[in-house]
Each structure stands twice: as structure tokens, then as C-alpha cells.
Structure 1
């Protein structure tokens, strides 16, 4: 296992790579409008709000009222787009990469909330967006989406809307194709099987990338079935799976592994799991570090510049994914790919917007200075 430190990261190589970055990326198939709220604990006599800062504080409050009711005022923080395609696409679009987003942005016309995303990416809508209510805290968020439309969405629905010829054209020159989130797509296995059988032939993408999201929503049998499908595809196209620490805890438990406080133990177990599920890459990212198990490159572990007071947390994982996808368009080493992904998400949570190329380069240099 390579435990890479930032002092070993060659920032000149990454700067040259980022400045010359190019490629075709296709993301699908969700679409969310996030209504984000903060929870008020009390109001002072001068009408100043004291917010519930941490998720555990809110959880403790709920438990303490378990035999009765509770009523807490909400303050609207923002209304924005969200979900895998929008958040990851935003990260890629801000790097001026050619990105096509296939998702649910409006049946009759694309909802105006997505218009700034439309300026950076090619949007193709196949339905109405899911509305998600989010309670946001400084250390995380509680997401409560109504997924009816997305859960009922099948491959046949998708193909009847987008059309076989248009889909073929979109995928023809794609370097990386990614579908998220598996947990919200009961027909996921059909989607990826049909794409592989009917579209990924001579002009197949160089990599498939997946984020499963809330694994616990689906059964162990369902995830094992999906791994068998992806393992077959992995023989033809290398597959990457990305998990945050909460998703990793659940996946580890399915294979009788505990998610340890020791990052090196997590790295060893990540390697163990990747060998079982049979994919080319398994990535786990946390606020403190990111680990990568690669079939060809072995293990990498790279620390993150931990942010104690993030400005935003919603979309942090998607921004990591966007950075990592961008880093897969060339021939970077594993530690270099993790460095770009870590820098992208660290910049985002501190500045509440995804970095452009120059901001990403500057963030890499800043993190190296701090952690070296």
C-alpha cells in the first residue's frame, strides 16, 4: 500500500494536466431540486436566531421528544438543483469539460433552476425533477426526497423518450459514462446491461464510473446482483465505484468488515472488498482522507485537508466525483487522481462553488503547502 503524502505530489504535473484537460463525459439519469433549510433552536428577545448546529444535537432533540411532539422553525437557506448529474456535472462544467447530462429537468421544458447549469453542460431532459427537502447542518445534512417519479422510471421509459438514435449519438464519442444513483434506480441493472449489450461496442468509453448513494435502501441481494452485472462489464470496460464513508460503513458490514478509525485498516479492507466485487477500482472518500484500490495500481491513501467549518456540505461527494472523473481523462497516477478529487471537494465546501481550472490548481498548491 502506498500512503502518499502531499509533499510527494508533483504540482507542476497536475497544473499542466488541468490546463490541458479535455474529454467527453456523459452523466445520467437523475434530477433533483433541493429545498435546503436550517433548523432553529431558539430566538433571542431581539429576534436573533440560534440554529441547531450539529446533526447529533438535532437527533438528541428528536429522541428526547419520542413520546410527544416537537415543532422547530425552519429558515430557508437556498433553493438549488441537486442530485448526481447536476452536482457532478456542475463540477465538470466549471472545468470547461464537454459534459452531457441526461436527467430529469422538466417534462415540457427545462426548469429555470437548471438554466445556469445549461450554460456549462448539454442538458437532455427525460422527465420532471424530484423535489428533495434537506435539513443542513455544519457537519452534514438530512435529505428527504420524494422519489416516486424516479423509482418508477424504467429502461423502456428512458428509451422511448430519448430515442435509440439520439442515445447512440450521445455515447459515440464518450470517454467516461456514469450513472447515479443506484439506490434510487430499481431498474439500474437493466440500464447498464442494455447499454453494454446494445451501445458499448467498438466505440466504447474508456471507463464507467458509479456512485451508489444510500446503499442501505436496497437489499444485500440487490447489490450483489448488481456487482455480478458490473463484474461482467468490467471485463470489457474498467469500472470505478465511489463511496463516501457512510456508504462504506454499510458496504463493509455486508462483507463482515468493520469500518475502522484507522485509515490504513480501511485501505486494506478496501482492497479486500474490491477483489471480492471484481471491479477495476474502488474509491472511498472521507473528510479526512481518500483511499483507492486499483486492480493495476494497488492501494493509494491520500490525506485530505480537513475543513472544520464548511460553508456547504450538500454536493461535496458529487464534487469529489467530478474531480475524480476529470482526473481519469488522462494518464495520471492514482495518488494524482485522488489529489485532484480532494482539492475539488475541499475548495467547494470552503467557497460554496465548484472550482474552475485556475482555482483547482491554486487549491492543489494551497493544500500541498498546508499538509507538506
Structure 2
């Protein structure tokens, strides 16, 4: 891995000034307002109402938005298609400005919907996630206009995520990916945690979910999943053309037609951010694919982007300069 990383650093340094200026990726359909609440001390035996002092942060969220922010930080032109309200859009503009992302296009955000929000409560011994999907819950193909399709038509890659939170997610993914294939655009799918779609009282429900995923993969170039998602979606015996981007805490790999064609260890860092690693990994990988890097290099880029983000105390994404610096000094996990 050392020689591969060294070669990768050389490529990044050579292309640092003008990489990806004419390419762009589109991410959809989720923008979310994230509230991060951290407790230093909290008793698990509470029996009455009380007041706690916490450290709170408000930031951009949603898999599509996280990925777009991370990729734009790496100087790839990125766009988000999602729905919120005027207050949500005002916050998004503020988040974009704060991160100084001039190459992030948010002009395709609809403001006639309901804002999505998530409250992540981080406690010493556990984490609790509270979510309101807002307009994502019913974001369908009818939410897009001609202006959006023109953007999609001329993009390099289209990424759809948070499928499990969207009741219209299957049809949206199928229609958008078919459109992408007709226009020679790459497709990237991150379905997310299937829990919202699971009906524990319906034995056929899981089979239906797995079937829908397999149908979407007919039009998918890249599928990004973690360990639990890989098992749930029954991808161990999948023999299709889709490249499965399999990422875990210790390593990431690319699987095609049931065979592992590339595998790379993760970086050993002190974790300071508990969410967003997978979304940032996706952007690092997409950065590598759009730059025509080798398969192992794409995985290193994904691992590095994610590791930089989760170890950054201010939850900042890497740019090319800081990514190169990270690659030169980071330690590798042993697997």
C-alpha cells in the first residue's frame, strides 16, 4: 500500500492546480439540517425532568449534501437537487458560504417543501438519532423540472442516496438512472440503512426490499454499502456488472461479479465525528473515479477523505492540499 499511496500523492501534486474544473457531479435528493448535541456527563437513571448543559452544533446534513460538500471541497464542481423551505435554503446558503465552496451549485434546491432535520445526541455510553425526513419522504420524479434534467444530462456522474428514507425512492432511482444511461452519465447509488423500510410484521417485506435493490442495480455503475447493508441486501451472491464499493471501519474494497478486485486498509485516526464518514468516503472515491485513478487509489482517496473528516475537531472536509498532507503522515490500520 505504501508504494500505491506514494504514487497517488505524486499524481495529486501534479494535478493540484486544475483538477476536475470541467467535470461535475450531481447529488440528490436530501438536504437536512443537522443538530449535534454532546453530553459530557449524563446519568442513565433519570426519573424526573431536568436541565443539562450541552455543547450543540448546527450544520449541513443529509447523505447527498454531505457528499456534495466533501467533493466540492476537493475542487470538483458539485450540485445538489433536494427540497426544503425558505429557512432551510437560507441555512444551506450560510453553510456553503462558511465552507467557502464556490464550486457548489445549490440553485436546484426547491423551497416549496418541508425541511428535513436530524438531532444526533452523543452521550458517553450511547448515541441517539432523531430524524424528520421532511420533503425527502415523498421526493419523486415529479419534483424535478426541465432545468434539473438539463443539469443531469450534462453531468459526469449522478448520485442518489437515502433511498430507504424515501417512499418514492425506487421509482426515482430507476427513472433517473435510466435517463443517465441514455445520456452516458455514470450512476452512483447509496441506499443507506434499510431500517425505515423494514416491516417486522411482514415476512415478505425484506424480500421485497432486496428485490427492489437488485432491480435498481440494473442501471447502477457503483453501489456503496457498509457491512450491515451488504448483508441485508444479500449482495454476497450478486453477479451483476455493478461495482460494489464495500467500506468498513478497518478496510474498503471493490467487488465485481462476486470477486474482490481491490482492497485497501483504512487509516488509523482518533475519531471526533460520529456521523458522515460513509458520505465523505463516497466523495473521495468519486473524486478518484472522475480523475481516472486506479481502483486501489480510489479506495485510498475514499478512506483518506473519510478519515480526515472524522478526525477533524471542527468537522471540516479535506481539500486537495490538506488531503495530500494527510496522506503523507497518516498511519494505516493493520487487518
Q: What's the counterpart of residue 2 of structure 2?
A: 6
Q: Of residues 302, 316, 319 in structure 2, which corresponds to 1:341?
A: 302
SS at match of 2:218: helix
Distance 1:70 1:243 in 2: 40
- Give 1:281 deviation, angstroms: 1.2
1:292 lines up with 2:290 in the alignment: no
SS at match of 1:41: coil
Q: Of residues 258, 263, 278 in structure 2, which corresponds to 1:301?
A: 263
1:167 lines up with 2:153 in the alignment: no
Tell me, yes or no, if the aligned pair for 1:138 and 1:312 is still in contact at 8 Å.
Answer: no
SS at match of 1:134: strand
TM-score (norm 1): 0.75
Taking a change above 3 Å as real, the CA distance of residues 95 and 250 of structure 1, as seen in their structure-2 partners, is: closer
Distance 1:369 1:183 in 2: 33
Which segment drifts farther, 145-154 or 102-111?
Answer: 102-111
Deviations 1:277-318 (A, max 9, x none): x252112222322122135984322111222x3222222221
Tell me, yes or no, if the aligned pair for 1:347 and 1:360 is still in contact at 8 Å.
Answer: yes
1:154 lines up with 2:148 in the alignment: no
Distance 1:174 1:134 in 2: 33
Taking a change above 3 Å as real, the CA distance of residues 310 and 228 of structure 1, as seen in their structure-2 partners, is: closer
The alignment's C-alpha RMSD in Å is 2.9
TM-score (norm 2): 0.82
Taking a change above 3 Å as real, the CA distance of residues 362 and 19 of structure 1, as seen in their structure-2 partners, is: farther
Tell me, yes or no, if the aligned pair for 2:181 and 2:219 is still in contact at 8 Å.
Answer: no
Q: What's the counterpart of residue 57 of structure 1?
A: none
- Give 1:13 deviation, angstroms: 3.0
The gaps in structure 1 that reach 5 residues or longer are 43-51, 53-60, 256-269
The gaps in structure 2 that reach 5 residues or longer are 199-205
1:99 lines up with 2:78 in the alignment: yes
Which segment drifts farther, 19-28 or 145-154?
Answer: 145-154
Distance 1:369 1:253 in 2: 29
Distance 2:333 2:193 in 1: 33
Tell me, yes or no, if the aligned pair for 2:40 and 2:124 is still in contact at 8 Å.
Answer: no
- Give 1:345 deviation, angstroms: 1.1
Q: Of residues 222, 229, 233 in structure 2, which corresponds to 1:240?
A: 222
1:112 lines up with 2:67 in the alignment: no
Tell me, yes or no, if the aligned pair for 2:31 and 2:62 is still in contact at 8 Å.
Answer: yes
Distance 2:124 2:274 in 1: 7
- Give 1:139 deviation, angstroms: 9.0
Larger Rg, first or second structure (1 or 2): 1
> Which structure is higher in RCO with an 8 Å CA cutoff and minimum separation 6?
1
Q: Of residues 173, 183, 193 in structure 2, which corresponds to 1:192?
A: 173
Tell me, yes or no, if the aligned pair for 1:291 and 1:300 is still in contact at 8 Å.
Answer: yes
Tell me, yes or no, if the aligned pair for 1:36 and 1:77 is still in contact at 8 Å.
Answer: yes
1:360 lines up with 2:332 in the alignment: no
Distance 1:144 1:32 in 2: 12
SS at match of 1:100: strand
Distance 1:28 1:337 in 2: 22
Aligned residues: 314
Q: What's the counterpart of residue 27 of structure 1?
A: 27
Q: 1:35-46, aligned counterparts within 5 Å? A: 35-41=35-41
Distance 1:187 1:301 in 2: 34
- Give 1:166 deviation, angstroms: 0.7
